[in-house]
Amino acid sequence: MHTDRRSGGLFQNDRSSHRMDFRFRGTWLLLLLLVVGWAGCQRPVPPAEEQLTVETPDSDAASTLESPPVPATTIDPVTTPPSAAEMVEKGDPTQSATAPVPPVPAVPPAAEPAPTLDPVVAEVPLTAEGEESVKAEGDAEPEAYTAWPAPQVTLVVTGNQYGYIEPCGCTGLENQKGGLARRMTFLDQLRASGWQVVPIDAGNQVRRFGRQAEIKFQNTATGLQQMGYQAVGFGPRDLKLGVGELVAVAAADDPEQGLFVSSNVTLIDPALTARLKVIQSGGRRIGVTSVLDPAALESPAEGEIEVTPVDEAMAQALADMNAAEADFRVVMYYGEEAAAIEAVRKVPGYDLLIISGGFGEPTYRPQTIEGSTTRWIVTGNKGMYAGLIALYPDQPFRYARVAMTHDFADAPAMRQLMANYQNQLQAIGLSGLGLRPIAHPSGDQFVGSKVCGECHTTAYAIWEGSAHFRATTDIVEPGERADVARHFDPECISCHVTGWNPQGYYPYESGYLSLAESSHLSGNGCENCHGPGAKHAAAEGPDSGVAAAERDLLRLAMRLPLDKAKDRCLECHDIDNSPDFHKEGAFDDYWAEVEHQGLD
């Protein structure tokens, strides 16, 4: 049986197809069918306690809970990693921060819960020594890396961060995976235990484009350098930033010492970034390159960015690795799985294929390719996981996926980086970020919830007692990670104030601009759901001069039928920030907390 959990779904051969519902149509026919079924297609069904009982997670969310970690047997936890503290002391001379950074408490490395999987083991090609290089995906548990013997060197593989440099915390940090701060603590724990680590990343650091995305890309690159990353690829969203921004961050005087590497992406001049690297660590020579499938681009690369076909680029990089006597060869491929697998079939010789670009969870085991010795893994999305590839001198590599959960405390260096990032947003301001208010589609203006409460007193009182009322306060004074305020960050502001487009991250005319200018629009107010109410409020005045028919139409326009309300809620209660909202029947529970009906 083959199982695949990457998409959060489960694909398996249906055992029912091997069972036959025989009806008695004569003794000879029955015996014939039994013999054929036994010889040709019957396979045993596991006992009841071994039946597959995997729950299907929502793998596109950054909010899947992990079970408590398995106690470490080889890797000892550390309290304050020396390398993280050193990074704080060094800082970034181009940036300043005003937010204090709390210490990191001791925390053990996290291990993942084991689902109950069918124990049928798929065939795995053997190595030259006659041993299996990996266990099949059907194994009952993920690899417990904390029990491994110390490897020569370990690749730490990430990718497709997609702008999620830290969990937002809206639904509780214990419910969300990912973040640079947790990742640095994880790396520091490995290093403190004596492991040689080589972090590499498949690319796609940002999701959007524009000034905020550029600042986020700059800070992400700084963070990856501080964590000791040796090779980082490009994703399609990275290229959206434009050649000027990319060259400013990625170009290096000595490409071999630079952060970025790609065998098929050129920024102006091929000499500005490395096509591949051969990294020497732990007595091994590890060849690493990356490719970006042109098919993954949303639009053709513009300006002086060139993206060439992957096959020729991969072949040349592999030849150069072999010429440099690399003994382990890695290609990071941003694109579809099928295309990546076909590429390594055409260009045999890579030991590991790392695929990024999908929206699912990494598998528990490396996957095999028919007719190929190359194994492949996926990075997952939004930086929620790190993959470990441990190399040994006398046995095949071992692999484990590790979820970046709250079990890994925030590294001080990355907390400082987050403070720098927020301070930059504050200093630049909305106009510096290119955000200028635009007219609301209704053509109306926002007046604030207090005006609504002059007539809708009961509804207003309910709102004042809700989390919506406290929405702005929650980013000015976050309950968790309270050292870094986020009320200058458009990606946070958009759902925590009144008068913004929640998914476009920009303000409407007369919408919230700042605490000083727009205190009446603090909180996620009435008008975010019902629409701006200036015309309606004016029409209700005793001397408005508005005809009754027009007044009634304005009233009607403000009404939000309950069957339409859920769609409006989902604009902020998306799967990342509010996973509980997506459970069966959750809307009814949420509605019960804020239920209000018209006038008193």
pLDDT surpassing 90 at residue 128: no
pLDDT surpassing 90 at residue 176: no
Range with the largest mean pLDDT of 5-14, 120-129, 573-582: 573-582
Q: How far apart are CA 546 and CA 535, in angstroms?
A: 10
pLDDT surpassing 90 at residue 134: no
Q: Do the Cβ atoms of 84 and 104 come closer than 8 Å?
A: yes
pLDDT surpassing 90 at residue 129: no
Q: Please report, as a single letter, which amino acid is at residue 18.
A: H
Going along the chain from its start, the domains and CATH numbers come out as 1-55 (no CATH), 82-108+154-418 (3.60.21.10), 435-594 (no CATH)
Tell me, what's the pLDDT at 234? 97
* Phi-psi label, residue 96: left if phi above 0, alpha if psi -120 to 50, beta otherwise: beta
Tell me, what's the pLDDT at 139? 52
pLDDT surpassing 70 at residue 18: no
Q: Please report, as a single letter, which amino acid is at residue 535.
A: K
- Which of the two residues, 23 and 492, has the higher pLDDT score? 492
Tell me, what's the pLDDT at 456? 95
SS3 of 503-548: CCCEEECCCCCCCCCCHHHECCCHHHHHCCCHHHHHHCCCCCCCCH
- Confidence band of 119 (pLDDT split at 50, 70, 90): very low
Taking residues 566-580, what's their average pLDDT? 86
In the numeric block, the tokens 């692999």 are attached to 399
User: pLDDT tens digit string along 520-539?
Assistant: 999 999 999 999 999 999 99
Burial status of residue 103 (CB atoms within 10 A of its CB: 0-12, 13-18, 19 or more): exposed
* Phi-psi label, residue 420: left if phi above 0, alpha if psi -120 to 50, beta otherwise: alpha
pLDDT surpassing 50 at residue 84: no
Q: Do the Cβ atoms of 328 and 133 come closer than 8 Å?
A: no
**CA 437 vs CA 363, 487, 496: distances in Å:** 44, 17, 17
- Confidence band of 104 (pLDDT split at 50, 70, 90): very low
**pTM for the whole thing?**
0.76
Range of weakest confidence among 123-127, 320-324, 448-452, 541-545: 123-127
Per DSSP, helices labelled H in 335-454 are 337-346, 412-432, 449-453
Range of weakest confidence among 183-197, 266-280, 419-433, 474-488: 474-488
User: pLDDT tens digit string along 328-352?
Assistant: 999 999 999 999 999 999 999 999 9
Q: Do the Cβ atoms of 496 and 524 come closer than 8 Å?
A: yes
Cα torsion 209, 211, 213, 217 to 10°: value is 120
pLDDT surpassing 90 at residue 107: no
State the DSSP string of 233-259: ---HHHHTT-HHHHHHHH--SSGGGSS
Whole-number mean pLDDT of the chain?
A: 80
Tell me, what's the pLDDT at 60? 37
Taking residues 411-418, what's their average pLDDT? 95
- Which of the two residues, 527 and 97, has the higher pLDDT score? 527
Q: CB-side exposure of 377: number of CA atoms within 13 Å?
A: 31
- Confidence band of 86 (pLDDT split at 50, 70, 90): very low
